[in-house]
Amino acid sequence: MMIVKVGYLISYDYNYLKYSLPKIYDNNKVQEIILVVDKDRLTWSGNKFEIPNDFFEWIKAFDTQRKIKILEDSFCNTTLSPMINETVERNYLYSKMGKCDWYIQLDCDEYFIDFSSFINELEKIYLERNRLLNQISVTVRFANLFKKIEKGFLVISPVKENCWVATSNPICYYGRVNEDNEKIESESVLVHQSWAREETEIYQKITNWGHKNDFNSESYFKLWKSLDDHNYKYIQNFHPLKNNNGIWNELKLLSVENIDDLLRFNENQIRRVFDKRKML
Please name each of the domains of the chain with its CATH number.
4-274 (3.90.550)
**Structure confidence at residue 132 (pLDDT):** 57
5, 97 Cβ separation under 8 angstroms: yes
| Successive 10-residue mean pLDDT values, the chain, 280 residues | 96 98 98 98 96 98 99 97 96 97 98 98 88 83 96 94 96 95 95 95 88 85 96 94 88 94 92 64
Q: How many DSSP H helices and E strands does the chain contain?
A: 8, 10
138 with 184: CB under 8 angstroms? Answer: yes
**Rounded Cα distance, 200 and 43, in Å:** 16
Which residue from 270, 129, 34 is spatially nearest to 121, judged by alpha carbons?
Answer: 129
Distance CA 84, CA 176 (A): 11
Encode pLDDT of 208-233 as tens digits. Answer: 887 877 888 899 999 999 999 999 99
What's the pLDDT score for residue 278? 42
